[in-house]
Amino acid sequence: MEHKEVKHLIDWNYWSDDEIKSILEFAVYVKNNRVFFTGHLQGRTLAMLFQKTSTRTRVSFEAGMTELGGHAIYLDWMASNFQLSDIDFEAEYLSRNVSVIMARMKRHEDLLKLQSGSKVPLINGCCNLFHPCQALADMLTIYMDKGTLENTNLCYIGVHNNVVNSLISITTALGVHLTLVTPIAAKESIVEEVVEKAKLNKTISWEKNLTYAVNNSDYIYTDTWVDMEFFNDPSYQEKKKERINIMMPYQLNSELLKNSKAKIMHDMPIHAGYEITREVVQSEKSIIFQQSENRLDAQKAIILKLIKE
């Protein structure tokens, strides 16, 4: 019998440009025809495995499966036997019960172990290197706001992290120009392969002049300066203080944005008073809550696509 390879979503970097364009188009369709897919996944189950905390990823995947007529099982890593056994063995067992797995793992290497054991599609629900579901929701948000992605200048202001890597991957494929204002960009956070592809496609640039970047962008995006995992970790408090000192001049606030027409994006959770002020989150320029809502539609499209593959 011919062996059919299972399609996974680890990052958009591993999908072709045409596949990415097509999934975005499909996500737009899913959003505009919300009721059409009701019941499409009746009898199907999604396993959601979490090593880290979440609000949006947990809620939107579970609500998405409910809307599609399927079911979602929440698995807390520490309350499961994943913590005691070889990850690939547990993943193979899991994949004999469910149609699709979504996992939020601390380490990319462990996500790949899950992938190696799974006989069903695996969706990366955010690891230390990538956050592809967020990136698709981000592109969907810009598309719904502007009606096109053509001639779009997106500017990310913050720390180079997993969200940025997936943003680079998806903007490269979709031809959106991404400007990075990233005073903190640790070598271990950057995926060189993704950056090199973007450089070849001329979809990426770096800007040191913050005012210039802010006044020449259509969308301005920021994220937490400290990974959620470490935010309240007592052993990380010194590093957190250091980061805040470096990043405070880059805060999205009304003074910085006074001459900018750009819409404001943030993947949430928000630390108001740090990377962005409460006033900007609630301003007319903000499309942050539309962006977070779009996680649901984007992920429904991903699940439908992967289960049908």
When asked if residue 268 is in the footprint of ligand CP (CB under 6 A), the reply is yes
Helix runs in the chain, H state only: 17-32, 56-67, 87-95, 108-117, 132-146, 162-174, 192-201, 210-215, 228-231, 237-247, 278-281, 288-308
Taking the C-alpha atoms of residue 41 and residue 35, their distance in angstroms, rounded to an integer, is: 13
When asked if residue 222 is in the footprint of ligand CP (CB under 6 A), the reply is no
Cβ-proximal residues to 299 (8 Å cutoff; 6+ apart), any chain: 60, 61, 64, 123, 133, 136, 137
Closer to ligand CP at the Cβ: 129 or 260? 129
Segment near ligand CP (CB under 6 A); pick from 208-216, 232-240, 246-254, 265-273: 265-273
When asked if residue 141 is in the footprint of ligand CP (CB under 6 A), the reply is no
When asked if residue 54 is in the footprint of ligand CP (CB under 6 A), the reply is yes
Q: Which of 103, 165, 160, 104 is nearest to 138 (CA)?
A: 165
> Which member of 51, 57, 182, 217 binds ligand CP (CB under 6 A)?
57
Segment near ligand CP (CB under 6 A); pick from 18-26, 52-60, 73-81, 251-259: 52-60
When asked if residue 290 is in the footprint of ligand CP (CB under 6 A), the reply is no
Taking the C-alpha atoms of residue 198 and residue 194, their distance in angstroms, rounded to an integer, is: 6
Structure tokens at 123: 């969706």
Closer to ligand CP at the Cβ: 57 or 260? 57
> Which member of 67, 267, 275, 297 binds ligand CP (CB under 6 A)?
267
CB 306 within 8 A of CB 9: yes
Segment near ligand CP (CB under 6 A); pick from 53-61, 62-70, 113-121, 177-185: 53-61
Closer to ligand CP at the Cβ: 124 or 260? 124
Return the DSSP state at 49.
E
Cβ-proximal residues to 281 (8 Å cutoff; 6+ apart), any chain: 264, 266, 270, 272, 288
Return the DSSP state at 77.
G
Return the DSSP state at 37.
T
When asked if residue 134 is in the footprint of ligand CP (CB under 6 A), the reply is yes
Q: How many residues bind ligand CP (CB under 6 A)?
A: 9
When asked if residue 73 is in the footprint of ligand CP (CB under 6 A), the reply is no
Structure tokens at 229: 């995992």
Return the DSSP state at 32.
H
When asked if residue 55 is in the footprint of ligand CP (CB under 6 A), the reply is yes
Question: Minimum distance from CB of 6 to ligand CP (Å)?
Answer: 24
> Which member of 126, 159, 276, 280 binds ligand CP (CB under 6 A)?
126
Segment near ligand CP (CB under 6 A); pick from 89-97, 138-146, 263-271, 300-308: 263-271
> Which member of 8, 31, 56, 285 binds ligand CP (CB under 6 A)?
56
Closer to ligand CP at the Cβ: 66 or 254? 66
Contact residues for ligand CP, defined by CB under 6 A: 54-57, 126, 134, 267-269
